[in-house]
Amino acid sequence: MRILSVLLTLACLTPSGFAQGEARQAERMRYQACIARTGEDPGAALQEAQTWRIEGGGWPAEVCEAQAFIALGDHAVGAAILEELAGERRPGMVAEERVDFLTLAAESRAAIGETGRALANYDAALAIDPSAILTRAGRAGLNRDLEDWPALGRDAEDLVRRVPGLATGWYLRGVFRLETGDLDGAWADMQAARERAPDRIDILVLRGRINEARRLEGG
């Protein structure tokens, strides 16, 4: 689910080198078509990306290649390509793109259980841009899965502060408060999350968990 979110984000980007006129319109279109193809026919997208890379397509071709590997289920290979790209800071690559590459690499590592490497990628991305909301939400979600409640609490607080209109921060802080025994605070956060996203299943599940915790607390 989180990987899909990052893929959709990256699919909307145009490499800055292209935007600055360093490549032809045909190359911009080739990049966008290759990224789109990873969601439709990842095998064909991989062939296209590898051919383009051999032809001198540079790092945009490698980004498409990485996303094709991920879409095919080869998360480790895709993540390794993205990590290398983010570390090399290729010409024409801006900070926002490096953050996106590291975020997708983190989600890919997490998908195959490499949580330590996933957290390292999230940390590296947030060191570049602490305001990267998708990245922080992804790290918070991983910390929730790992039951690292202090780390979850810090990320959730940051999300609530930076994007109070987004349900995710309130939901994650509600989970943190529930797990640390603050049932009234958890309920308030759950309600705030429901106001922003009334149909989200995970928020409704959180409400049920809080009610059950209150029942058990009452004896």
Number of Cβ within 10 Å of residue 208's Cβ equals 10
Q: Are residues 47 and 139 in the same domain?
A: yes
Report CA 112 to chain centroid distance, whole Å.
Answer: 15
Q: What is the mean pLDDT of the chain?
A: 90
d(CA 179, CA 88): 40
pLDDT confidence of residue 88: 86
Q: Are residues 30 and 121 in the same domain?
A: yes
Q: Are residues 123 and 160 in the same domain?
A: no
**Residue 78 burial (CB < 10 Å; 0-12/13-18/19+)?**
buried
Segment among 28-32, 112-116, 145-149 with least mean pLDDT: 28-32
Summarize pLDDT for 77-94 with one digit per residue, the tens. 999 999 999 998 777 789
Q: Are residues 123 and 185 in the same domain?
A: no
Structural domains of the chain, count: 2
* Domain at 194, CATH number: 1.25.40
pLDDT at 23 over 90: no
d(CA 97, CA 104): 11
Confidence of residue 49 (pLDDT cuts 50, 70, 90): very high
Q: Are residues 137 and 158 in the same domain?
A: no
Q: Are residues 100 and 198 in the same domain?
A: no
Residue after which a domain boundary falls, among 117, 146, 175: 146
Confidence of residue 21 (pLDDT cuts 50, 70, 90): low
Q: Average pLDDT, stretch 132-150?
A: 98
Residue after which a domain boundary falls, among 124, 146, 168: 146
Q: Are residues 199 and 210 in the same domain?
A: yes
Number of Cβ within 10 Å of residue 73's Cβ equals 11
pLDDT confidence of residue 24: 61
d(CA 104, CA 114): 13
Q: Are residues 196 and 105 in the same domain?
A: no
Residue after which a domain boundary falls, among 146, 179, 211: 146
d(CA 122, CA 142): 10
* Domain at 84, CATH number: 1.25.40.10
Greater confidence (19 vs 48) lies with 48
pLDDT at 14 over 60: no
Confidence of residue 25 (pLDDT cuts 50, 70, 90): confident
Q: Are residues 176 and 133 in the same domain?
A: no
Dig out the tokens for 30 from the structure.
């080739």
Q: Average pLDDT, stretch 48-74?
A: 94
Summarize pLDDT for 169-216 with one digit per residue, the tens. 999 999 999 999 999 999 999 999 999 999 999 999 999 999 999 999
Q: 164 φ, ψ to 5°?
A: -65, -20
Domain region containing 215: 149-219
pLDDT at 217 over 70: yes
> In this prediction, what percent of the chain has a pLDDT beyond 70?
89
Q: 106 φ, ψ to 5°?
A: -65, -45
Q: Are residues 190 and 91 in the same domain?
A: no
Summarize pLDDT for 88-126 with one digit per residue, the tens. 877 778 999 999 999 999 999 999 999 999 999 999 999
